[in-house]
Structure 1
Amino acid sequence: MEALYIDKHYQLVVECKQGSKKACYELYRLYSKAMLNVAFRIVNNMDEAEDVLQESFLDAFNKVKDFRQETTFGLWLKQIVVNRSINLLRKRKLEWVEMENEQLENIADEETCDDDEMLYKVAQVKEAMKLLPEGYRVVLSLYLLEGYDHEEIGQVLNITENTSRTQFLRAKRKLSEVLKIKGVA
């Protein structure tokens, strides 16, 4: 089943490279929702996330002939979306605070709960993340939700790895405070 999925996406990319508008539309249909979520988690504004999404797909389709398929189309597109989102934040003149020698903390112990309770808590955490300062939210999103490590975050955001770690730790503390106020933590 997974091979069929990969083959279908591979074929769509091939057709898109050949100029098929239908294949491009199908790729858009398959990936747009997930990529909109990625953009929204970074920019925290739906209108801007939609703009990032459209610009990202335009970039992808304009550069699809350069896509060598060494990775999946989805991963390649996600990198475009993340870069576009970060560029938008830079345009907002996002200021990063660099702190040296900050101690790393252990991630809070996981609680055991049923699936419904877990989904409810995840939704509350995502809502609380929207209340964080932009720098904190971006690093936290890239690290926890998008799976980037601090070195990669540093490269993408043009900050040091240590700054990424610092922002992450501060974001966790601030998120914990927000969740306590909301009665979640």
Structure 2
Amino acid sequence: MLTTDIIEQCKRNDRKAQLQLYNKYCDGMYYVAFRFLKDAYEAEEAMHEGFINAFSKLHQFTGEVTFGAWLKRIVINKSLDMIKAKRATIIPLNEEVMGKVDDDPQDWSIDDNVTVEHIKKTIAALPEKYEYPLMLFLIEGYDHQEIAEILNITEVASRTLVHRGKKKLQQQLKVNNYGTGY
């Protein structure tokens, strides 16, 4: 059965269709949440709450993007909400202090042994202000407008954080002997 047919049945509150949709996307959404939360229990909770939110707001799904992309955004937002709740204090970003981003780091020569997992672990070790924008940009594939909406920051702040995060990532990869060490 096509996903669009399943979604239509879910809109009519068909529990079997909801289970089908859940089974189709639960593993992928769990891993998305886990990349942010780094805790199996919290990732599962974020994934479940994401599905609950999605099913309750399914009437808002327009089909402009795939259902998976729509659901992924809900799960990411839920994960970020959980992180914010744990932190309890949010530091506002000041664009004037951060400055303007001109371009990306250019020298990305890294050793052939570097795996995606190495890069993900290195990103996770960066300061939180760089970790989430970089993860959304490099791993999840969001653009700066989407990152700005998800993190509730401006596009300029997103570009700045991604730019600086890339520099930090590059430095860290070289420090860890993954780079060419020019």
Question: Scaled by the length of structure 2, what TM-score is found?
Answer: 0.81
Question: What letter matches 1:171 in structure 2?
Answer: G
CA distance in 2 between counterparts of 1:43 and 1:171 reads: 19
Question: What letter matches 2:102 in structure 1?
Answer: L
Match of 1:126 among 120, 126, 137: 120
CA distance in 2 between counterparts of 1:25 and 1:48 reads: 21
Q: Does the CA-based 8 Å contact 1:100-1:162 persist in structure 2?
A: no
Match of 2:106 among 94, 108, 111: 108
Equivalent pairs: percent with the same residue?
37
Q: Does the CA-based 8 Å contact 1:35-1:81 persist in structure 2?
A: yes
Q: Which residue of 1 aligns with 2:33?
A: 39
Match of 2:20 among 19, 22, 26: 26
Q: Which runs of 4+ in 1 moved over 6 A?
A: none
With over 3 angstroms needed to count, the CA separation of the structure-2 counterparts of 1:89 and 1:109, relative to structure 1, is: same
Aligned residues: 175
Q: CA-atom RMSD, angstroms?
A: 2.5
Q: Which residue of 1 aligns with 2:170?
A: 176
CA distance in 1 between counterparts of 2:164 and 2:107 reads: 18
**Which runs of 5 or more structure 2 residues have no equivalent in the other structure?**
none
**Which runs of 5 or more structure 1 residues have no equivalent in the other structure?**
1-6
Question: What letter matches 1:150 in structure 2?
Answer: H
Report 1:57-76 matches (<5 A): 57-76=51-70
Displacement of 1:88 after TM fit? Answer: 2.1
CA distance in 1 between counterparts of 2:31 and 2:90 reads: 21
Match of 2:74 among 62, 66, 80: 80
Question: Scaled by the length of structure 1, what TM-score is found?
Answer: 0.80
